[in-house]
Each structure stands twice: as structure tokens, then as C-alpha cells.
Amino acid sequence: MLNRRTFLNAGIACGALAFSGTHARLAFAALPDDKRFIVVILRGALDGLAAVPAHGDPDYASLRGSLALPQSGPGAPIDLDGLFGLHPSLHNLSEMWHDKELAIFHNVATPYRDRSHFDAQNVLETGGTAPHHLHDGWLNRALAPLALDTGNGALAVASSPPLLLDGSSHVTSWMPSRMQAPDDDLLARIGMLYAKDPVLGAALKQALATRATANAAMHDSASGPMPMQNGQGYGAIMPMMEGAGRILAAADGPRVGVFDIGGWDTHSNQGAGDGQLARRLQALDESFAALKTELGPAWKKTAIVAATEFGRTVAVNGTGGTDHGTGGIAFLFGGAVAGGTIHAEWSGLKPAALKDGRDLPARTDTRAIFKAALADHLKIAKQTLDEKIFPDSSGIPAVRDLIRA
């Protein structure tokens, strides 16, 4: 397995001085035109028909049963085009759709066709064609062609980067924190102990640099202090989005960001217009709005893709939820996105149109959406995309016309 840390060390061996400068910032190579690219992993398989209901489909209400949104009144979907709508919790996304900054994809899936979360997430994050064939993340492999592999080019909003961003290129990570950093003297002494360590030296140096960027962003920003609440795990998305938004907006901050957000595996009591999934979607939607605010002028140069490992069963299951399915949902949004569109290749909800009589079919390969952003937004060459970033994927072309000219 490749390890991003094995080759990082030269600077560290120079010793303690490298650690004493908590205010030092790392140099980074800017993307053309200062662009930002963000990937949001919706871990656990978000129910696509809950987020983007096909409320105009004649079979929607009967198949979805207790999960169907009402056609009117409280809890009704925000209609987009007569056939599709957005869940009423997603009003910020609906504004982006009307501003033509959001493209929606239904019937999306990776090449994986079984129903294990962990294998499906592995394929989603490695960009391979089967689980465990590749050992690093596709986004990590995209950093070198973008000259963002220096350490501060990509940010994981997590204490350790998810597989998507793991690999031979060095990245940084950040989480809202309560603890105070140790003083420079202790850091210098620890730096000496870490001088020969293949893992700890580089990691600590990187964390201090990112913390310095975050601290600077705090002082630069008009919107007050950095969020200090710990937003790890199932809970608060907002502090992660606010804080990372500022780090990504900073002139010398990272240009690529990854969020890893769980809470979508709704096997029971999923709810419809109101309920557990509605609340989770609302938290996500409000956090996206906060991310847009914090990015400020950088929003216009930003493309964000939110994807999940697979879809869920169309019909409600025995416990008021949905089980693991196939075709799912993806969102591409941001100021750089040419949106206001829904890509579905919809064939209805009749049993014959469903995979195995239960799931939405897979029409668009998730990689085609990722490729769209990498090719047209970040200008990565087609050959690099087809061979290096998504190996053996020349048969999966990027979806065109998703990025503003």
C-alpha cells in the first residue's frame, strides 16, 4: 500500500526549528484562476428518492407508501420540473437550482453492483472498478497533476483523511477543536523526538501549518471567531462547513476539500416531510448555505460534488425505512457550475423498470460526474483521467456542459 508519509521527511530532519513556527504558512501551488474543488461524501447511502422525489411519476405515491411526500401543503416537495422536486428541507439547494448553480443526477452509481456499504464506499473513494483493487483515493491521485501535492493543497475535514484523499500525495486535515495548542518550547522538543519518525513528524508539521491558516482566517474574517464546537461524527455539520469554508477561502489556503458526512443509512423510521432524514437533510442544506457564505468571492470559482455509495430500495421496507439499493443521487453545485438541470434518463417506477424489481437502475457512472469537474473545472487532461485517476475508464466519458465557460 502506498503511504503518503513515507517520502516526506527531508524538511523534518532539519529539526526543531520547523516546529517552532506555528505561524509559518506553507507555500502552495495555486490552481489556474484560483479555483476550488470540494467533494462531499454522503456516507451510508442517502435515499435519492427522499432527497429528490419523483413526485410527478404516476407510481411514486403508491410505491413509496408512508415515505411519499404529500403533493401539496406542509411537507410537499419543492417542485423543479413537474416530474422531480427537492425535499422541502433543501430550500437552499433549491435556490441554487433556480440560480443555475446546481445540477442534479438521479440513477447514479459506481461500477459496483452488490449491496455492501463498505465495498461500495471503497469503490466510490478509490475510483476503481471493483472493491479493494486500488489502495489510494482518486482525489489523492488528482493532486499531483494539479501541483497540489505539497501538503497544504488539499484539506480533509476530519481528524484523519478518508480513503478518497489518502495516498502518496501529502494532504492536511482539520477539525474544529477545543484544546489549546502546546507552547512552542514543548513543540520544538517533540519535533526533535519526531525527527526520524516516518509518520509523526510530517503529520505534526502539517497540522501546525493548517492550524496557522485557520487562525489567520479567523483574524481575517468579518464573521467572528472560528467555530470551536467539536463537530465530529454523526452530529454537527455546520461547524465543519463554516470553519473549512474559511480555510478554503483563504488566499494561501488549500484548494481542494473533502467532507465526510454520515447519518444516511435509514433502514427504519426514515420519515417523509418531517422526521429523522428530513432533519439530517436540513442540517446538510443549511451547512451548504454556510459554506457558500464563508467562501465569499471564491464561491464563483468553486465546484462541489456530493455523492453517496449507492441508492436505496424504491419501496418502503417493513420498518418504515429503505434498504440498500443501486441507482442513487449526486449533486454538483457551486458558482462555477452550469446548473439548473436534472440528469436522470428516467424510466419510471414500474417493477419492470427497476433493477431486480426493487432498486432504481444505474444510468450514470459516478466517475462521469467526477470527471466532468476534474476535466472542465480543473482542466486535467483526458488521458490522465482515463488512465491514472480512474484507471480503465476510457469508456466512461465526462458528462459535458456542467461547468460555466
Partner 1 sequence: MSLEGALAANRFGLGAKPGEIDEANDNPKAWLLNQLARGQDSARFANLSSTSELAAQLVKQQLLRRAKDKDALKSFLMQARQTYLREMAARFLVGFETEAPLHERLVRFWSNHFAVSTQKPQCALFVGAFEREAIRPHVTGRFSDMVLAAERHPAMQLYLDNAQSIGPDSLAGQRSGKGRNENLGREILELHTLGVEGGYTQDDVIALANLLTGWSVDRGPGLAGLAGPAGPAGPVARMVNTAMGGEAENGFRFYPPRHEPGAKTLLGRSYQEGYRGGVQALTDLAQHRATARHIATKLATHFIADNPPEASVKRIESAFRESGGDLMKVYEVIIDDPAAWRPEPAKFRSPVEYVTAAMRIAGGDTLAALDEKTVGPFMQSARAMGEMPFAAPSPQGWPDVTDSWTGSDAVLQRVEWANTAAQRLGGQSDPVMLADSALGPLLNPETRIGIARAASPAQGLALLFASPEFQRR
Site of interaction with partner 1 (CB under 8 A): 1, 3, 5, 43-44, 114-119, 131, 156, 158-161, 166, 172-175, 177-182, 185-187, 189-190, 192-194, 197, 199-200, 202-208, 210-211, 230, 232-234, 262-263, 265, 267-268, 317-319, 321, 323-324, 356
Nearest approach in angstroms of CB 71 to partner 1 is 22
Buried b (16+ CB within 10 A) or exposed e, 309-326: bbbbbbbbbeebbbbbbb
The CA distance from 58 to 79, in Å, is 15
Q: Which is nearer to partner 1, 285 or 323 (CB)?
A: 323
Please check whether residue 188 is in contact with residue 20, taking contact to mean a CB–CB distance below 8 angstroms: yes
Bridge partners of residue 403, in order along the sequence: 337
Q: Which is nearer to partner 1, 221 or 230 (CB)?
A: 230
The CA distance from 353 to 162, in Å, is 35
Q: Which secondary structure element, helix H or strand E, spans residue 107, and what is its range?
A: strand 102-109
Buried b (16+ CB within 10 A) or exposed e, 264-274: bbbeeebbbbe
Q: What are residue 196's phi and psi, to 5 degrees?
A: -100, 5
314: Cα within 13 Å, side-chain hemisphere: 25
Nearest approach in angstroms of CB 110 to partner 1 is 16
Q: Which is nearer to partner 1, 166 or 376 (CB)?
A: 166
Q: Is 50 helix (H, G, I), strand (E, B) or coil?
A: helix
Nearest approach in angstroms of CB 205 to partner 1 is 8
Q: Which is nearer to partner 1, 92 or 270 (CB)?
A: 270
Nearest approach in angstroms of CB 198 to partner 1 is 9
- Residue whose cell numbers read 466519458: 397
- Residue whose cell numbers read 447514479: 108
Q: Which is nearer to partner 1, 266 or 302 (CB)?
A: 266
Nearest approach in angstroms of CB 385 to partner 1 is 26
Q: Which is nearer to partner 1, 235 or 340 (CB)?
A: 235
Nearest approach in angstroms of CB 312 to partner 1 is 12
- Residue whose cell numbers read 455492501: 116
Q: Is 259 helix (H, G, I), strand (E, B) or coil?
A: strand
Nearest approach in angstroms of CB 109 to partner 1 is 16
- Residues in contact with 31: Cβ distance below 8 Å, sequence separation at least 6, in sequence order: 37, 146, 148, 255, 378
Q: What is the largest CA-CA distance in the chain?
A: 69
Q: Which is nearer to partner 1, 265 or 386 (CB)?
A: 265
Q: Which is nearer to partner 1, 173 or 341 (CB)?
A: 173
Nearest approach in angstroms of CB 201 to partner 1 is 9
